[in-house]
Amino acid sequence: MNLENLLYTTYGFSSFRPGQKEIIERVISGDDVIALLPTGMGKSICYQLPAKVLPDSILIVSPLLSLMQDQVAQLKKMGEKSVIAINSFLKPEDKEKIMNRLGSYKFIFISPEMLVQPFIKKNLKKIRVSLLVADEAHCISQWGFDFRPDYLRISEILPTLNFPQILALTATATDKVTEEIKEYLSLMEPYIYCHPMDRKNIVYDIKKFEDRHEKIEFLKTFIHRFNGPGIIYAGTRKKSQELSALLTEQGISSAFYHGGMEHQDRIFVQQQFQNGEIQWICSTNAFGMGVHISNIRQVIHFQLPTSIEGYVQEVGRAGRDGKPALATLLYAQGDEGLLESLVMDDLPTQYEIEEVYHKGAAATYLIDQGIVRETAFRVISYWMTKLPLEGIIRQLELLSIGKKQQVMKIRELVSLQNCLRTYLIESFDQQLIIKPDNCCVNDGIDYENFEAFNYSAKNNVLVEWEDRLRVILPM
């Protein structure tokens, strides 16, 4: 089979991106595959193209509703009509219609939470699935930065589907995470494709301030000096809204985005950004998966990211067009407190573990009464099916140790005197072979590629901070 011809007739592309052809060949030949491709390298084509050859349905397990809908929209834009997304927003009557003709769909997108529902499992048993795709597969691993306990249940569905071929896709996974993906998906001898993590066109910058007020003043200057479009990541929903209001006050078109917004509001903001109607998104880490915008020039972390893996994935949303992009992390003394709070608050407490364990996994009233948090409930409920009480407590103690190690890696990044790029790449068990000329703040950065205008032209907004910027941000 000539894959280049298939690629051209399907997408109009004359050649594959690095790694795509190798992965697709393995999928078509029947191998299980774990594919690690950096953000923006075209992971979805690795199951969409084989679908032209494989005889039966492709089942894609996806972690976010917005990601599913974006992928469905992309396929429909290409003329693919045989595609559906199964999620909790479906009306009962629509769900019934879909189930009645489930086997007629070539692409079936589903969340891990929906995947294990008895009604869904019953209907999946009636159809033939050629390939199960675990998208954002790092969510499977308890050591992954975005661990989702329901992802661990994917293996429960495999007997129902008569053990289909598996493709696990992710942009960020260490060797440890890759091993857990293999274990939890019951992969015996998968083909593992690991693309170098380094994105040469992304320049890494860290700015340090005495206090948060200085950080705010710097940001005001930055958004006038440098080109968008860009993303500003904040640690909390409240801060994302505050930053969006700040940019609006400065005459910059922006919007906030976080998981607490209504679904339609999130979709609307994402579409505005994709259409170029707003220049900046101020968001929690809820924004980014499945967002295909090639010309994002800036990614700013206003507060410390919660892990190296999450940081690399978030900055990887910039510069997908291959042109220079700037990743700027802003740090003020005391920021570690919020970081530790964000990282550790996700973990179930011993009190929550004991309450759920003794009341039972069906006791969802514990969530309604505010006794146990929903995420904690899901994590504990999963481990209850595998371990006794003492084992659950020990398991979550290990998770706590892993979370603390994530915090330490971020602290090391901020305090680093050596090359940031080298540190980030080595965090993924890889080695940096070639360092670009414009690399990181510790090796010196040429900022001219990112400037919105000739900085020598004075601007009232810039004058006040110009002297400080000569130190913080060399001209």
Which DSSP symbol is given to 107?
E
* Distance of alpha carbon 15 from alpha carbon 281, whole angstroms: 33
Task: Indicate if 175 and 269 belong to the same structural domain.
Answer: no
Q: Which residue has the higher pLDDT, 455 or 34?
A: 34
Task: Indicate if 262 and 171 belong to the same structural domain.
Answer: no
Q: How confident is the model at residue 174 (pLDDT cuts 50, 70, 90)?
A: confident
pLDDT for position 87: 82
Question: Distances from the Cα of 283 to the Cαs of 238, 333, 413, in angstroms?
Answer: 10, 22, 22
Which DSSP symbol is given to 192?
E
* Distance of alpha carbon 384 from alpha carbon 151, whole angstroms: 15
Task: Indicate if 218 and 164 belong to the same structural domain.
Answer: no
Question: Distances from the Cα of 273 to the Cαs of 264, 279, 310, 323, in angstroms?
Answer: 14, 7, 21, 19
Domain final residue, candidates 175, 194, 213: 194
The whole-number average pLDDT for the span 20-30 is: 96
For residues 117-138, b (16+ Cβ closer than 10 Å) or e, as one string? eeebeebbeebebbbbbbbbbb
For residue range 372-406, what is the model confidence (pLDDT) as tens digits?
Answer: 988 888 889 888 988 999 999 998 898 888 888 88
Angle between helices 212-225 and 460-472 (to 10 degrees): 110
Task: Indicate if 189 and 213 belong to the same structural domain.
Answer: no
Task: Indicate if 82 and 117 belong to the same structural domain.
Answer: yes
Count structural domains, the chain.
Answer: 2
Q: What are phi and psi of 148, to 5 degrees?
A: -125, 110
Q: Which residue has the tokens 């003794």?
A: 358
pLDDT for position 431: 92
Say whether pLDDT at 290 is over 70. no
Task: Indicate if 115 and 17 belong to the same structural domain.
Answer: yes
Contacts of 94 (CB under 8 A, 6+ apart): none
For residue range 211-246, what is the model confidence (pLDDT) as tens digits?
Answer: 989 999 999 999 988 878 999 999 899 999 999 999
The whole-number average pLDDT for the span 117-131 is: 92
Task: Indicate if 208 and 264 belong to the same structural domain.
Answer: yes
pLDDT for position 143: 63
pLDDT for position 457: 36
pLDDT for position 144: 62
For residue range 445-468, what is the model confidence (pLDDT) as tens digits?
Answer: 999 888 864 443 334 434 344 444
Q: How confident is the model at residue 61 (pLDDT cuts 50, 70, 90)?
A: very high
**115 lies in which domain range?**
3-194
Check which CATH number belongs to the domain holding 10 and give it.
3.40.50.300
In a domain, 354, yes or no: no
| Chain mean pLDDT for the chain | 88
Task: Indicate if 33 and 133 belong to the same structural domain.
Answer: yes
Domain final residue, candidates 177, 194, 211: 194
pLDDT for position 357: 94
Joined tokens for residue 369 = 């009464």
In a domain, 355, yes or no: no
Task: Please report, rounded to a whole number, the percentage of residues in the chain having pLDDT higher than 70.
Answer: 93
For residue range 249-276, what is the model confidence (pLDDT) as tens digits?
Answer: 999 999 999 988 887 898 899 889 989 9
In a domain, 400, yes or no: no
Domain final residue, candidates 162, 194, 226: 194
Say whether pLDDT at 155 is over 60. yes
In a domain, 363, yes or no: no
Task: Indicate if 175 and 288 belong to the same structural domain.
Answer: no
pLDDT for position 473: 47
pLDDT for position 41: 77
Say whether pLDDT at 22 is over 90. yes
Closest C-alpha to 454, from 157, 227, 128, 139: 227
Question: Distances from the Cα of 17 to the Cαs of 4, 21, 46, in angstroms?
Answer: 11, 8, 11
* Distance of alpha carbon 233 from alpha carbon 230, whole angstroms: 10
Joined tokens for residue 216 = 């705010």
For residue range 292-333, what is the model confidence (pLDDT) as tens digits?
Answer: 788 999 999 999 998 998 899 899 999 988 899 999 999 998
* Distance of alpha carbon 229 from alpha carbon 155, whole angstroms: 40
In a domain, 390, yes or no: no
Say whether pLDDT at 67 is over 50. yes
Say whether pLDDT at 153 is over 50. yes
In a domain, 357, yes or no: no
Q: Which residue has the higher pLDDT, 470 or 132?
A: 132
Which DSSP symbol is given to 459?
-
Task: Indicate if 168 and 294 belong to the same structural domain.
Answer: no
Task: Indicate if 215 and 167 belong to the same structural domain.
Answer: no
Task: Indicate if 314 and 420 belong to the same structural domain.
Answer: yes
- Within 185-317, where are the H helices? 212-225, 237-249, 263-274, 308-315
pLDDT for position 77: 86
Q: How confident is the model at residue 145 (pLDDT cuts 50, 70, 90)?
A: low
pTM, whole model, 2 decimals? 0.84
pLDDT for position 456: 39
Q: How many CA atoms lie within 13 A of 36 on its CB side?
A: 24
